[in-house]
Amino acid sequence: MQKVEFLLFPGFQMLAYVLATETLRLANKCAGEPLFEWETLTATQAPVRASNGALVAPDRTGWRTGSAPELVLLCAGYDPLQNVPASVKAWLARMDRSGATLGGVDTGTVVLAALGFLDGHEAVLHYEAEPGFRETWPDIAVSDRIYCHGRRRLTAAGGIATSDAMLAWIASTASAALAAATSDAMAHGEIRPPAAGQRAETTADPVLQQMHRMMAASLQDPRPLQEIADSLRLSLKALRLRCQRGLGMAPKAYYLQLRLSYARDLLRNTEMPVTEVGLAAGFASPASFSRLFKSRYQHSPRALRRR
């Protein structure tokens, strides 16, 4: 029997936790026998409150000292590093040495990185936490895929992607046929490949999709719009018309929106000084950054940081 242990941190994403456990339950039902068992632990060894306010108690207190489970999955939410006792790292290290796969969903991946368990591994986490993750751990390769599974690591974006990640794990530990049957039982449909994107395209226009990728790749040092238009083999006027029709705004406004969104993610998910956040998002002037940010989000960068 395959053993899974869920390690919950305060504010963990309930959706991801429920989907992970339900995927295992339905896999057992489809198999006609209990192939998987699981239990829930908490980082605090006490009940923790989930993202939706529900209180979840651990199935037991104390760290496992016997044989390691096949999978340890960390579930976290906002401020994932706020309450990580030293005993968590010691226990995870013991599980790692014993051959367990270590995984993280949503910002559970952040905890794994902070404790040193993702060095030399590729990582996936929720896209909102990606900017801060890249700034904090630049040597860890981050993918914008929905999950990554390999070399005894399983990281996922959280949310619905948790189901895809768990189904992939079931396929690797049991069979692809069982994973497919479980997916059907969940009315999940086709299991998405890991390379599937976390976010829907903002437009069906492939030219504007390419424009988006160019802009997203150059947030700290914004590219001139004329240069982007030239790369797309369009005149600047044609790009403006296409952008207005497809996105409802001018390319300059769209670029600004991307940069401000990036700055907001950094403010929420890192301790970077506000001035450095502005520079990372391509704003050389702190005053200009603060004014534009407040215009879009109704709060100054410093006020958002305090919330």
The arithmetic mean of pLDDT across residues 19-45, rounded, is 97
Contacts 24+ apart (CB under 8 A), 223-230: 225/251, 225/252, 225/255
Say if residue 25's pLDDT is above 80.
yes
| pTM, full prediction | 0.80
Say if residue 283's pLDDT is above 90.
yes
Residue 199 lies in a domain: no
Q: Which helix (H) or strand (E) holds 141?
A: strand 141-142
- How far apart are alpha carbons 272 and 269 in whole angstroms? 9
Number of independent structural domains in the chain: 2
Adjacent-strand bridge partners of 40: 6
251 and 118 belong to one structural domain: no
* Residue 53: CATH number of its domain: 3.40.50.880
Q: Which of 94, 85, 82, 33 is nearest to 61 (CA)?
A: 85
Say if residue 107's pLDDT is above 80.
yes
Give the pLDDT confidence of 127-181 residue by residue, as tens digits: 888 888 998 999 999 988 999 999 999 999 999 999 999 999 999 999 999 999 9
- How far apart are alpha carbons 192 and 2 in whole angstroms? 23
Q: Which of 6, 36, 3 is nearest to 18 (CA)?
A: 6
- How far apart are alpha carbons 71 and 7 in whole angstroms? 11
Give the pLDDT confidence of 62-97 residue by residue, as tens digits: 887 677 899 999 999 888 988 899 999 999 999 999
* Residue 294: CATH number of its domain: 1.10.10.60
Mean pLDDT of the chain: 93
86 and 137 belong to one structural domain: yes
Q: Which of 104, 80, 83 is nearest to 92 (CA)?
A: 104
167 and 121 belong to one structural domain: yes
pLDDT band at 194 (very low <50, low <70, confident <90, very high): confident
Residue 33 lies in a domain: yes
How much is the pLDDT for 193? 86
Q: Which helix (H) or strand (E) holds 42?
A: strand 36-42
Q: Which helix (H) or strand (E) holds 49?
A: strand 48-49
How much is the pLDDT for 305? 82
167 and 224 belong to one structural domain: no
Contact 283, 262 (CB under 8 A): no
| Sheet containing strand 36-42, strands side by side | 36-42, 2-8, 71-76, 101-106, 153-156, 147-150
Give the pLDDT confidence of 195-213 residue by residue, as tens digits: 787 776 678 899 999 999 8
How much is the pLDDT for 65? 67
213 and 141 belong to one structural domain: no
Residue 234 lies in a domain: yes
15 and 148 belong to one structural domain: yes
Question: What SS3 class is residue 41?
Answer: strand
154 and 270 belong to one structural domain: no
114 and 211 belong to one structural domain: no
165 and 214 belong to one structural domain: no
